[in-house]
Structure 1
Amino acid sequence: MIPKKVILDCDPGSDDAIAMMLAMKSDAIDLIGVTTVNGNRIVPKTTENALRVVQFMKSSVPVYRGCEEPIICNEIPGRKPGLPRVTLNDCHGDFLPLPEAEIRTEKEHAVFYLVKTLMESEGDIYVAAVGPLTNLAMALRIEPKIAGKIKQLVIMGGGHCGANASPAAEFNFYADPEAAKIVMDSAIPKVILPLDATWRACLSEEKCKELAQLGTPEAKVAAALVQKRIDNLKVNDVSEHNYALRHQAGTVAGAMLYRYDNHMAPIHDALAIAYLINENVVTELADANVDIDIAGGLCDGRMVADFHNTKKCKAPVTAKVALNSDAGLFTDMLFAALGK
């Protein structure tokens, strides 16, 4: 099998780091570049974290520093002055628990790297976007033709029946709603992995211990990162966020609540790489007309996936949206890749 050429656009982040490790360890992925963006942390920190992972993995994958601010909105927290960010306590930390990077980024900006690499390609490059979509949106603005050069764009973002950065929106789309809308409005073939899917692919504390016991450096680091995420959920288990979940409509709320109560944590971004390795990790995928709320109100950054009118009124299908995932297969894939 010929490995898929993949560019990973990310904002490391603990789950981004595991996504990077999974991509580098998989025989099905040829990771040709990593681009960083403002998101979980500011770009100097997300870039340093990406470099730390590349160095730790003894990889030669180039890292390109990307956009430091959203296209229009303020950085979060503070999409608007005085508007607090409603989210879980932080589970990332400023820097990954890896040695400080001694390697450096490429000189070219991430946006120009995307434009150049995609335009020079034969349309055989996959992009996994697991942070705010600022880099990709800017690349589309500079050269709209890249939409026809991406084989498939796999996005971790949005929520059909769930949210985590505000009462209405998921973090990546909330961080730069305008960028998300630009990408959604493009002709790029898109698969979206929202919270509905990622919250069903979790690791328990028991599985986390089993991962560490595999004994490889990668497995030990990944297990430590997941355990930190689990510990974070324990802290939040009695918070008002958990109270809100108990009164939130939608099936993903029940899935999230079950995992809170049983000390399990999602590795959101790694599911995007897992999907590129084996599409069977997503068990329910539906055609939808997808839009993003950018009105600036309470639902700013909300993903609106219209499944009904694509069937009834022939509304154009703009993306495939994952609504469920196979936690067992996802776990097996992580163990197989990080344990070798």
Structure 2
Amino acid sequence: MLPRVTQLPLPVILDGDPGLDDAVAWLLALGSPEDLRVLGVTTVHGNVSLDRTTRNAGVTLALAGAAADGVGVYVGADRPLVRPALTAAAVHGDSGLPADGLPDPARAPEAEHAVDFIIRTVRAMPGEVTLIPTGPLTNVALALRLAPDIAPLIREVVWMGGSTAQGNRTPAAEFNALADPHAAHVVFGSGVPLRMVGLNVTMQAVAGPDRIAALRALGTRAGEACAELLTFYADVYRRRYGLDGGALHDPLAVAAAIRPDLLHWQAMHVSVETTEGLNVGRTVCDLYGVTGQAPTAQVAVGVRDAEFFDLLLARVGRLP
């Protein structure tokens, strides 16, 4: 495996299924040019259908204005590797971005498939590229299966998904893991350097009324969009989980790439359950090393939540 390049800004590919919190996460990334150089965004099935996640990717880039200049959208997998597709429209709305006055995409998606873009980019920049998937891992798994040579060339994968404990789509499984458990199994077994930012930490990072008000007080289009999206999200989370607002799942994964020190990490072996039944999609995390198996991921087990939100607010505040 090549040494991991740590010179800033880190070249990154944002892979996801926007989706409310994906959009906020990508705005955080685009507002952080000193830390991250966004090479492109790749879309996948998940929160809503692929045609909608792709349009939403374009909308998010348009919200970022000049910060997204030159960043292309690459369309990826429209379904999981094996299981039927899931959506989370009940959480993210039918469109995936339930806010008024959002801009139209400024450019059409690229002709190159997302998986081909990932493979080509990683090969061209060995040891440099970090992948930040915030949805099902289908695109990443397909890239690793089609081009196994890229596994040692990827600097790191920082994934929002899974949990050391509870699920959210089922009692056992977090949505991104459940939406394509076979893809997650491929990625966790690939040997690629991997960080997992799961529900056990993201449910501690909640955008309640004060945080939504702070985003709105930025007085920018991006800040207002984040506030409106997170207001919709908060209503869902109050009804479903009794929380004061929506959890900032995907933004925390982007923050983990920018500032890994904002989270506490533990190396552990993680297996993904692919057998149909009550536990399908569960990320089985060996917290105490009882299996004796080598770690397959650095798993987030704690977060400095106030510092994380300060970072999010400051970076989104740079956007128009």
TM-score for the superposition, normalised by structure 2: 0.91
Counterpart residue type for residue 72 of structure 2 = P
CA contact (8 A) 1:88 1:164 kept: no
Identity over aligned residues, as a percent?
A: 34
The alpha-carbon deviation at position 307 of structure 1 amounts to 2.6
What is the rounded CA distance, in whole Å, between the counterparts of 1:88 and 1:34 in structure 2?
21
What is the rounded CA distance, in whole Å, between the counterparts of 1:126 and 1:296 in structure 2?
32
The alpha-carbon deviation at position 148 of structure 1 amounts to 0.6
Match of 2:38 in 1: 31
1:67 counterpart = 2:77: yes
Counterpart residue type for residue 158 of structure 1 = G
CA contact (8 A) 2:144 2:150 kept: yes
The alpha-carbon deviation at position 280 of structure 1 amounts to 1.9
Q: 1:230 aligns with which of 230, 234, 237?
A: 234
Q: Deviations over 1:129-167 (max 9, x none)?
A: 110000011111101111111111101000111111112
The alpha-carbon deviation at position 175 of structure 1 amounts to 0.4
Q: 2:219 aligns with which of 215, 218, 231?
A: 215
1:280 counterpart = 2:281: no
Counterpart residue type for residue 41 of structure 1 = V
The verdict on how the C-alpha distance between 1:12 and 1:88 changes in structure 2, with shifts beyond 3 A counting, is closer
CA contact (8 A) 2:43 2:53 kept: yes
1:184 counterpart = 2:162: no
1:266 counterpart = 2:273: no
The verdict on how the C-alpha distance between 1:218 and 1:88 changes in structure 2, with shifts beyond 3 A counting, is closer
The alpha-carbon deviation at position 188 of structure 1 amounts to 0.4
The verdict on how the C-alpha distance between 1:335 and 1:102 changes in structure 2, with shifts beyond 3 A counting, is closer
Secondary structure in structure 2 of the residue aligned to 1:273: helix
Match of 1:169 in 2: 173
**Moved segments of 4+, more than 3 Å:** none
Counterpart residue type for residue 116 of structure 2 = F
Q: Deviations over 1:248-283 (max 9, x none)?
A: xxxxxxxxxxxx24x12211001111111111221x
CA contact (8 A) 1:52 1:101 kept: yes
The verdict on how the C-alpha distance between 1:207 and 1:192 changes in structure 2, with shifts beyond 3 A counting, is same
Secondary structure in structure 2 of the residue aligned to 1:169: coil
CA contact (8 A) 1:2 1:28 kept: yes
What is the rounded CA distance, in whole Å, between the counterparts of 1:88 and 1:234 in structure 2?
16
Match of 2:9 in 1: 3
Match of 1:323 in 2: 301
Alignment RMSD (CA, Å): 1.6
The alpha-carbon deviation at position 2 of structure 1 amounts to 2.3
Secondary structure in structure 1 of the residue aligned to 2:111: coil
Superposed, which structure 2 residues align to 1:1-340 within 5 Å? 2-26=8-32, 27-58=34-65, 59=68, 60-76=70-86, 89-96=90-97, 97=99, 98-236=102-240, 242=241, 260-261=242-243, 263-282=244-263, 284-309=264-289, 314-340=292-318
CA contact (8 A) 2:206 2:248 kept: yes
CA contact (8 A) 1:6 1:127 kept: yes
What is the rounded CA distance, in whole Å, between the counterparts of 2:205 and 2:104 in structure 1?
30
What is the rounded CA distance, in whole Å, between the counterparts of 2:281 and 2:96 in structure 1?
27
Q: Deviations over 1:173-198 (max 9, x none)?
A: 10011001000101100000010011
What is the rounded CA distance, in whole Å, between the counterparts of 1:313 and 1:50 in structure 2?
41
